Amino acid sequence: MGINSEQLLLDASNECDRICDFIRNSTRQLKRRGLVVAVSGGIDSAVCLALACRALGPDKVIALMLPENQSTSNSTELAKELCERYQVQYHAEDISSALEALGCYRQQSEAIQRVFPDFTQAQAFKLVIAPESKLASYHLVVEIDGEQIHERCPADVFRQIIAATNHKQRLRKGSEYYHAEKEHYAVIGTPNLLELELGFFVKAGDGIADIKPIAHLYKTQVFQLAEYLNVPDSICSAQPTTDTFSLEQSQEEFFFRVPYQTMDIALHAINNKLAESEICQLLDMSTNQTQQLLNHIHNTKRAAYYQRSPALTLS
């Protein structure tokens, strides 16, 4: 049968109009003059930039490119192509030296060296979900002499790598708010529904924003809007990546386990309270495969409670 995504089909024209109304009303409500969007060369930030320009006009939008030493080699070029497509002004600021000062790269290396003692910052690495694991355990992958070597990643090593790497999202968000406050603008957040529900964002990092225009959309729907909004094909056709570690890494191997199309359908089915047997048919999966995926989603959503929680106060 294959994956059935008919229920995720949008009327792209109406949805764009609806989101643009939301952006305009939100900007007025916040009493801001325009919008700041950090663009990475990925599909989500591309759609958010296109919607912002459509809602307020490109003269009221600032795009930020904030690459660093471990960014994907073509991310800035893709972001520039996007900005030129929508004729929006942009600022490109390399944040590598700031991350160096914060200790990001040193802290990553110190953790990795507990598994690979000879690791240096000149080598490339990434984290991937252990394929044989039903739980969220990880492999640390380091490139040595052109070969990618996998080793089990102990929990303390994993936590330090993630904590150090999260400096990137938090530093980028600080840059976004600097430009926003300087111009009396609002900050656009780019997470989609899939990322928000499963916690695929950094608390006090890319989870923070003034307006989140695609937070109600599944990733599949973001791609539908991208086509309607004439986002460059170089962005639409690229595999979604984390753009986080120095080795190229898909979102699937780091977080979602399955392609986003599959995860969208499964999460949509859960949110609409479909029976497990119906989900099996929708995904064309065995009962065992479906149970594993649903368990992964439920466990990930529970873990994301902390990500989504505001500060707790004594009332």
| Angstrom distance (rounded) from CA 175 to CA 125 | 26
Structure tokens at 96: 């590598």
Distance CA 71, CA 243 (A): 6
> What pLDDT does 2 receive?
44
153 exposure class (CB count in 10 Å sphere: 0-12, 13-18, 19+): buried
Write the CB contacts of 187 (distance below 8 Å, at least 6 apart in sequence): 35, 36, 173, 176, 177, 180, 208, 209, 210, 211
pLDDT in tens, 249-267: 889 999 998 999 999 999 9
Distance CA 289, CA 3 (A): 14
- pLDDT score for 5: 65
pTM as predicted: 0.94
Cβ atoms of 157 and 140 within 8 Å: the answer is yes
CATH numbers and ranges of domains, the chain:
6-100+165-308 (3.40.50.620)
Q: What span, in angstroms and rounded, lies between the C-alpha atoms of 242 and 71?
A: 9
pLDDT for 134: 59
CA-to-CA distance for 176 and 187, rounded, in angstroms? 7
Determine contact, residues 177/32, Cβ cutoff 8 Å.
no
What residue ranges of the chain have pLDDT lower than 70? 1-5, 132-136
Contacts of 18 (CB under 8 A, 6+ apart): none
Q: Which two tokens stand for residue 236?
A: 């639409």
Residue ranges of alpha helices (H) inside the chain are 12-29, 43-56, 75-86, 96-102, 104-112, 155-165, 167-183, 193-198, 219-228, 233-236, 251, 260-271, 276-283, 287-303, 305-308
- What are 17-40's pLDDT values in tens digits? 999 999 999 999 999 999 999 999
Query: Would you call 294 exposed, middle or buried from its count of C-beta atoms within 10 A (0-12, 13-18, 19+)?
Result: middle
Nearest Cα residue to 66 out of 170, 156, 172: 172
Contact between residue 75 and residue 243 where contact means Cβ atoms under 8 Å apart: yes
